[in-house]
Amino acid sequence: MRPDIDSIEARAIDWLIRQRDPAFDDWDGFTDWLGEDPDHAAIYDTVASLDQDLGALPPAVKPMAATVPTTPLRASRRGWFGGAMAAALVAVVGLSTLNPFGSADRIETAAGEQRTIELADGSRIEINGGSVVEIDKDRPRFARLESGEAMFHVVHRDNDPFVVETGGNRIVDLGTAFNVVRRERQTSVAVSEGIVLYNPDRDKVRLVAGKAIEVRDNDRKAPVVQDVDVASIGGWRSGLLVYNGAPLAVVAEDLKRTAGMDVRIAPVAADLSFRGALIIDKNRGRTIADLAALSGTKAQRQGDGWILTR
């Protein structure tokens, strides 16, 4: 049923794309296609209606502030647009040994639970679910991401860099916004504003806004800098996860952290990658159904969670 609908939808999209050409004249061919099955007209309507709504898209890529809804429907979506972020300067990601903790506060979020903490200096840490962050009252310009994911919005202070520590790496930040994920033996950094220097003592990789790296703990080679869309950095904060060819296991891990969903990937589906946008729906079953449909897998209930198979 579903693959059928998908292929009809693909044909409907093809017609729509062709019809946007003012010189399109194959209306007889279009009529024939519509006549093949009553579903064709219905699916074409939904796609053409969507296309008409896209007429409201602003003409140029604007900063996210241009599209801020004045009254977001859901509070959880508010974070997507952020606030006025600190002027970006330079951040440095470095390698060091762990610093001893004095009066540390440990903030641990359950899977699916997100928290924002405001620091005394005005910096802000948005913590995704399933994560552990430590802050220290005696060291107001320091935070440690023990595990999980967090988005840091750091207020710049001359000569007083903000330090984020994760997995033995030190991120020395002089005023920027970036997302950090600490997975098992792997650190990911994506910069949405400002500049980050990764391991200035060793790799000397410079990350500007819109760049990201993924580094395994045992990588010997310098990390490869990748392009990442600024709008999708920290997407977990708004309940929209956007992927451009990510392994399903990574998607499952993100769903666990962000929404508290238990999703296992069967070995036969382990090699599949996922491309698309996933909304964390209140009805988790919808989110799973979408993930399955978009990745070409089947979802089955398993205990409190789901398993994706082929």
Partner 1 sequence: MAFQSKQSMTSSNDRTDAAQGIEGVLLANRDRIVRFLLARGAGDAAEDLFQDLWMRLTDRPAGPIADPLPYVMRAANNLMLDRYRSARQSALRDQAWGETAATHAPSAEIALISREQLALVEAAIAGSGERAARIFRRFRVDGANQRDIASEMGVSLSTVEADLRKVYAMLAALRRQFDAS
Strand partners, 157: none
Please report, in angstroms and rounded to a whole number, the separation of the first and last CA atoms in the chain.
16
CA distance 273 to 294: 10
- To 10 degrees, the CA torsion angle through 12, 14, 18, 19? 10
* In the complex, minimum distance from the CB of residue 293 to partner 1, in angstroms, rounded to a whole number: 7
**Which one, 16 or 90, has the nearer CB to partner 1?**
16
**What is 9-56 written as a DSSP string?**
HHHHHHHHHHHTSTT---HHHHHHHHHH-HHHHHHHHHHHHHHHHGGG
* In the complex, minimum distance from the CB of residue 166 to partner 1, in angstroms, rounded to a whole number: 24
* Separation in Å, CA 117 to CA 114, 145, 182, 240, 309: 10, 13, 19, 21, 38
CA distance 36 to 38: 7
**Which one, 110 or 279, has the nearer CB to partner 1?**
279
Fill in the amino acid letter for 286: R
- To 10 degrees, the CA torsion angle through 18, 19, 20, 21? 70
* In the complex, minimum distance from the CB of residue 105 to partner 1, in angstroms, rounded to a whole number: 33
* In the complex, minimum distance from the CB of residue 74 to partner 1, in angstroms, rounded to a whole number: 8
**Which one, 68 or 268, has the nearer CB to partner 1?**
68
* In the complex, minimum distance from the CB of residue 97 to partner 1, in angstroms, rounded to a whole number: 37
**Which one, 269 or 278, has the nearer CB to partner 1?**
278
**Which one, 32 or 118, has the nearer CB to partner 1?**
32
CA distance 220 to 144: 24
* In the complex, minimum distance from the CB of residue 247 to partner 1, in angstroms, rounded to a whole number: 17
**Which one, 76 or 147, has the nearer CB to partner 1?**
76
* In the complex, minimum distance from the CB of residue 4 to partner 1, in angstroms, rounded to a whole number: 15
Residues contacting 238, CB < 8 A, separation 6+: 76, 77, 78, 79, 80, 81
Residue 3: helix, strand or coil by DSSP? helix
